[in-house]
Structure 1
Amino acid sequence: MRLACLLATATLAMVLAAPALSQTATEPIPITEWSRDKIIAMGQEIHRQDVAAWVATDALMSEFSGTPPQGLAGWIVVPEGRDQKVRFLKAEGDLVSAGWDVIVRNGRAGDVVDVTDGTLSDQEQARFRARMTAASNIGRLRCSPNMNAVVADDPDSDGWLVWLLTSTTDASIVPMGGHYRFLISADGTTVQQRDMLTNSCLPMPRNAAPEGAQTAALTISQIVSDGPVETHVFLSLQQRLPIYVIADDKLFEVNGARIRDVRR
């Protein structure tokens, strides 16, 4: 489910009931600042889950000959040791259960397994509730009709971190803006903090270099934080390109899982 090359199947995307798309917010609202270590770790986690969901979705679609299975309601990604289990969920009335599991190891999807007892654990239910709570509380900036969701344990609390990420079906565009970060309560029902990680949509051409040249890096101005955020790490890992982040009079290089001060 790479953001730059998302499967355009509505049942596999998070479709949020929201007003018409808003390309630019009004006054920038400063976000909660994180340590550099946490920014890097969470950017890597977003990337891990993005890859897992992408390859597992490909495996599921292949298993069902390109047509989403009946009742598909979304997915959650659950850590399983060094691997990740992508649980594709099905809905029957108000009941949500696991229908199909795919284990992703080293970025590769295993077999699609039909789940006989799809009852979700308390933690899995809370994880899914956290995703849906975030989806119901998106802010005024909307940069795509569908948003991808990533849910992770917050290392600094007993709650959940949820990201709603701008998606695109155009592989030549990097969606640099419109991403949200939520801190959700442990039971998945309450928004404790919402941070809008940019103040506008910022769709950036992936290949803007002159003919015959290759793009060497991307550059972005950041006005809601004092430096890079986790989505810069994620997008650098995904695009395999450095991203230079300008914040006030400071310049940072985000190169995969490394952040370097270029000018302070």
Structure 2
Amino acid sequence: MRPLLVSLFAALSLGLAPAVQAFPVQADADAPPAKVEVWSLQQTGEIGSAIFIQDRAAWRATDVLLPQLEGQTEHGLIGWIVVDQGDAQLVRFLRGDPTAPLPGYDILVDKNGRAGPAIPSKDAALPDDQVAHYLARNLAIANIGDLRCTANFNTVVLDDPDSDGWLVWLLAATSESDVVPMGGHYRFHVSADGRTLEKREQLSGGCLNMDRPPAAPDGEVLGIGTTVLVAPQPLEIHVFLSLLNRLPIYVMAGDKIWSVEGALIQEVDSSKIR
């Protein structure tokens, strides 16, 4: 089961009609949410995949580290960052002062999500860009908006493809394996030094927890449908949720319906949806 990290600190491709749940509209907040930035469908797929890879690395590394810390009440850890190393992700659990974080434990997670051992870091200090990465993460957490769909959020930090700064996601988390938290996620734009919040984007119109569909008797993977109010197309969060839950997500945005099957986003013929 995917842990709450904060507790530690396709049918269409075959020309078949997809079976999906209804398209529920996310509950409106007091004021309509602002429209959010979108990328091309290909880039949206790539960013959503990167979110999934980093999130998976963090929780797989946590699974390795937690048993090692069992019984240690003074481990001094203050959080983590995930550093992309091409075919692998380096998860660095940090210690010390949150304003000047230091390396604590390092865990390398390979491209298949397999985590190596937790190794006490040999580095005396973090590089400046990793300090900024951590500060950006904390800045986003400190500036969450009014929409609180869960008590706990997981975090992902990536390079902003459109600037020299950071993109930070707060991902609404759940410990229930049969629940898909479709609403309540945030995206933040943060300066390169990690100290200035440039924009906060609410990625849903409200809270929406959806039941994961059971497997069909014939083995068909059922999808779930949702409606997006903040963008004219699926967002990276839908790619992430599709990969995380291993199911297709069908997104109604504007007057179109889209299928999201991992990183592949396609407009679909609504007449084929039953």
TM range (shorter): 0.7 to 0.9
Counterpart of 1:254? 260
Q: Once structures 1 and 2 are overlaid, which stretch shifts more, 27-36 or 137-146?
A: 27-36
Deviation at 1:171, TM superposition (A): 1.1
Task: Return the alpha-carbon distance in structure 1 between the equivalents of residues 91 and 60 of structure 2.
Answer: 10
2:37 corresponding residue in structure 1: 32
1:54 aligned partner = 59
Q: Could you say which residue in structure 1 is the equivalent of 2:234?
A: 228
- 1:77 is aligned to 2:77: no
The answer for the alignment partner of 2:200 in structure 1 is 194
Which structure 2 residues correspond to residues 34-183 of structure 1 after superposition, within 5 A?
34-65=39-70, 70-92=75-97, 95-106=100-111, 107-183=113-189
Q: Structure 1 vs Structure 2: percent identity of aligned residues?
A: 45
Could you give the per-residue CA deviations for residues 29-69 of structure 1, whole angstroms, max 9, x where no partner exists? 11112221221111011000011001111110132348676
Letter in 1 for 2:29: A
Q: Structure 2: 5+ residue runs without aligned partners?
A: 10-26
User: What secondary structure sits across from 2:138 in the alignment?
Assistant: helix
Q: Per-residue displacement from partner, 1:50-95 (whole Å, max 9, x unpaired)?
A: 1100111111013234867611111000012321100001124854
Q: Which residue of 1 aligns with 2:3?
A: 6
For 2:267, what is the secondary structure of its paired residue? strand
Contact persistence 1:162–1:182 (CA under 8 A): yes
Query: Contact 2:99/2:135 (CA < 8 Å) preserved in 1?
Result: no
Normalising by structure 2, report the TM-score: 0.84
Of 215-224 and 92-101, more deviation after overlay is shown by 92-101
Q: Distance in 1 between matches of 2:28 and 2:245?
A: 24
Q: What SS does the corresponding residue of 2:58 show, helix, strand or coil?
A: helix
1:149–1:68: structure 2 CA closer, same or farther, 3 Å change rule?
Answer: farther
Higher RCO (C-alpha under 8 Å, 6+ residues apart): 2
Distance 2:87 2:101 in 1: 26
**Distance in 2 between the 1:207 and 1:186 partners?**
41
1:18 paired residue number:
none
Return the structure number with greater strand share: 1
Contact residue 154 and residue 161 of structure 1 kept, 8 A = yes
SS at match of 1:149: strand
Aligned with 1:108: secondary structure? coil
- Which secondary structure state, in structure 1, belongs to the residue aligned with residue 195 of structure 2? coil
Unaligned runs of 5+ in 1: 13-22
Q: Check 1:217–1:68 CA distance in 2 against 1; reply closer, same or farther (3 A cut).
A: farther
AA paired with 2:3?
A: L
Question: CA RMSD, aligned part only?
Answer: 2.3
- Bigger drift between 36-45 and 26-35 goes to 26-35
Task: Kindly provide the CA deviation profile for residues 139-178 of structure 1, in whole angstroms up to 9, marking residues without a partner as x.
Answer: 1111111111100011221010100110111111111110
> Larger Cα Rg: Structure 1 or Structure 2?
2
Which deviates more from structure 2 when the two are superposed, residues 25-34 or residues 128-137? 25-34
User: Does the CA contact (< 8 Å) of 1:236 and 1:242 recur in 2?
Assistant: yes
Distance in structure 2 (CA, Å) of the matches to 1:166 and 1:184: 19
Mapping of 1:203-214 within 5 angstroms?
Answer: 203-207=209-213
Secondary structure at the counterpart of residue 47 of structure 1: helix
